[in-house]
Amino acid sequence: MSAGSDAARPTPRIAVLGNPNTGKTTLFNRLCGVRARTANFPGSTVEGRIGTHRSPAGHVELELVDLPGSYSLTIDVPEARVCRDCLQGSLDGIEPDAMLVVLDATNLRRNLQFAAQALAHRLPAVVALNMWDTARARPGCVDPAELSRRLGCPVVPVSGRTGEGLAALDVALDTVVDLPFGADALVARLQKLPPADATQAMLASWADQVTRAAAPMAAAPAPDPADSLVDRVDVALTHPFVGIAVFALTMAALFSAIFMVASVPMDLIDLVFGRAAELVRSAMPEGLLADLLADGIVAGIGGVVIFLPQICLLFFLLSLLEDSGYLARAAFAVDRVMRRFGLSGPSFVPLLSSHACALPGIMSTRLIRDDRERLATILVAPFMSCSARLPVYVLLIGILSVGKPAWFAGAAFVACYALGAVAGLLTALLARRTLLRGPARPLVMELPPYRVPALRNALLVTWDRALVFLRNAGTTILAISVVMWWLSAFPRAEGTDARMQQAGSFAGQLGEAAAPAFAPLGFDSQLTVGVLTSFLAREVFVSTMGVLAGAGSDADPADRTVLEQVAAMPRADGTPVFDPATAAAALVFFVLAMQCLPTLAVTRRETGSWKWPAIQFGWMTLVAYVAAMAAHAVVRAWGGGA
């Protein structure tokens, strides 16, 4: 080991690559733990993780780059492109010094074809024979030494799950980054591999030959009684009715759990930030700085952190489900339904998650392989009725259902959710026929074996996602909150009440100016202010309307609930703001409109351009406006108007 002699040398960088479902990420997590960060590879939306591994001997530190799992290096998909570019050293900033090829020892024949493609690159290599704990237990298991001779590089049997063989892997990695790797070494290795232009058939026969040589005693696959059981489970879980019903139940349970469990920390966060804002106010002299700190920055940070419990829980539970092997079956089962709308099975989970919150929904579109389909899913995700719409629904449906039978409110809630989902699916269909036209990708997906999910992995995924969210979306949301505070706090109207401040501010002036545009929907200037402020975050609507109504009414606000106050709000001419037609129009508008700047920020991040958030915003606002106008006209014609 020569760690001391070249201390000035930068940390050796090792590219970790392999087929999907080889336990590559488990091995990576085992090596790096929390010393890893998620990063987008330059020039792509593909994400990988970069971590440091402290090895007990030799190089104290190695940098590992976890490349996305890919079935082949020659196919034209983003993951394969990233792997290829990385191995060729054309990925800026991530030129590797060596590669670690992770193979699934229980599925050698297929994995070797990938290994042959990877080993053809001019980089020193170590092959990790993962899942060794399972493979070793089988009769006629592969001989690592023979495999090493056949591949021309060290082969180390390891198990990412149990940690077996990691010490040997350390030694192999240390040795390989220190040894010079010249052209002759590459030539020696290439002679053992199939030619560079080998067809898949040649690769397959080479892999077959190597497998036979390395595991000569392997028995022909005997009929395994467990296979038959797994078959039955697979048949049930992918059945057109049973499978979809099981999926719906699983997801219903998942979201109930998220709603129930997340509401506790969310309330707590709300409380803590409310108290913090009060504390800031009481600790500082009254004035602009106190306002900025309390209403802008503290409230802004609170507005970011409040999303964290839902995001963490969703990713934690989804990671457990994915790890168990169930999620792949579910995606396969719903594929045939989604296909009718130009989407496919993998889009379903993101869309479902968006009913809790569009942010984690959009972030989880990374499961979708097809770029166009992924964009279509991101585009329509905000149509799903998220939990932030719920307070608005409660307010408006409350107003609408005064004097109506008891079932009316329930039906209205269901209608709101259905309207959002239908609008989303039809938009997806439209997008796939126009902007994102492309062949529906025929679905061929690997269904990984069922296993007990690894808690450690799920926790690491959650930690990772939370950091990504805070780092990227968080900063944007905070900035927006400060801008929003500024808009409603300036110009200062000293000594007047909240309502005057609201009306005189830039936001209020904007509302006044925009009122004619919203007149066809039956909105007056107060409601327009409410709608405009809620373009930043829709949950603001209730508090804005509360402020406007509370300040405007003569009665003591403490006597009445916010709902009653808002319902009784008068227009300038004395008639109520919320006649049934206006309330219906506002409700439809809130179901369909894109009123969430954080979502636009995440869309921008996930798509890598402002084009998609712009389209999303424009289209959703247009649909919401037209539908609200129609709702207003219909309810009015039906006799509900003022």
Partner 1 sequence: MQPDDHVCLCFRVSLRKLQNHLERERPTVASQLSECLGAGTGCGWCVPFLRRLHAQHVAGTLPALDESPEDYAARRTQYRAGRRHGTYDRPSSDPMASDPDRSPAPSVRVPLTQLRRGQRAIVDCSNLADLPEGERCLLHAMGMHDDCQLRVCSPGAPCIVQIDDTRLGISAEVARRIMVTPIEDGDRRAP
CA distance 372 to 388: 28
Q: Give, for 195, the enclosing helix (H) or strand (E).
A: none
Q: How far apart are CA 632 and CA 394, in angstroms?
A: 19
Helices (H), 223-307: 225-237, 242-283, 288-291, 299-305
Name the segment binding partner 1 (CB under 8 A); options: 34-42, 261-269, 354-362, 441-449.
441-449
Piece of 44-52, 224-232, 266-274, 578-586 that binds partner 1 (CB under 8 A)? 224-232
Contact (Cβ atoms closer than 8 angstroms) between residue 399 and residue 583: yes
Give least dist CB 398 to partner 1, A: 45
Beta carbon nearer to partner 1, 9 or 239: 239
| Interface with partner 1, residue 213, by CB under 8 A | no
**Which one of 77, 290, 337, 470 is in contact with partner 1 (CB under 8 A)?**
77
140 lies in the site for partner 1, by CB under 8 A: no
State which of residues 442, 495, 574, 639 lies at the interface with partner 1 (CB under 8 A): 442
Q: At 238, which helix (H) or strand (E)?
A: none
- Selection from 28, 54, 318, 41 nearest residue 174 by Cα: 54
Instruction: Output the CA torsion 144→150→154→155 (10° steps).
Output: -30
Which one of residues 1, 2, 74, 248 is an interface residue with partner 1 (CB under 8 A)? Answer: 74
Contacting range for partner 1; rule: CB under 8 A; set: 83-91, 160-168, 229-237, 424-432:
229-237
Window 388-407: residues binding partner 1 (CB under 8 A): none
Which one of 336, 499, 560, 571 is in contact with partner 1 (CB under 8 A)?
Answer: 336
* Residue 56 exposure: Cα atoms within 13 Å on the Cβ side: 5
Q: How many CB atoms lie within 10 A of CB 435?
A: 15
CA nearest to 45, candidates 617, 607, 627, 614: 607
The 14-53 site mask, x for binding partner 1 (CB under 8 A), equals ----------------------------------------
Least CB distance to partner 1 at residue 71 (A):
4
Q: Is residue 296 within 8 Å of 481, Cβ to Cβ? A: yes
User: Which region, judged by CB under 8 A, interacts with partner 1, from 184-192, 372-380, 390-398, 435-443?
Assistant: 435-443
Binding of partner 1 at residue 621 (CB under 8 A)?
no
Whole-number Å distance between alpha carbons of 109 and 316: 33
Strand 125-130 relative to strand 155-157: parallel, antiparallel, unpaired? parallel
Crossing angle of helices 24-32 and 455-468, in 10° steps, is 80
Does 449 bind partner 1 (CB under 8 A)? Our answer is yes
Instruction: Give 240's contacts (C-beta < 8 A, 6+ positions apart).
Output: 333, 336
Kindly indicate which of the ranges 33-41, 223-231, 403-411, 568-576 contains the residues binding partner 1, using the contact rule CB under 8 A.
223-231
Q: Which stretch binds partner 1 (CB under 8 A): 105-113, 359-367, 531-539, 545-553?
A: 105-113
Of 367, 375, 377, 365, residue with least CA distance to 446: 367
Among 209, 446, 622, 637, interactor with partner 1 by CB under 8 A: 446
| Range 173-212, binding partner 1 (CB under 8 A) | 200-201, 204
Residue 136 binding partner 1, by CB under 8 A: no
Binding flag, residue 221, partner 1 (CB under 8 A): yes
Contact residues: partner 1, CB under 8 A: 71-72, 74-77, 104, 106-107, 109-110, 113-114, 200-201, 204, 221, 227-228, 230-231, 234-235, 238, 328-329, 332, 335-336, 339, 439, 441-449
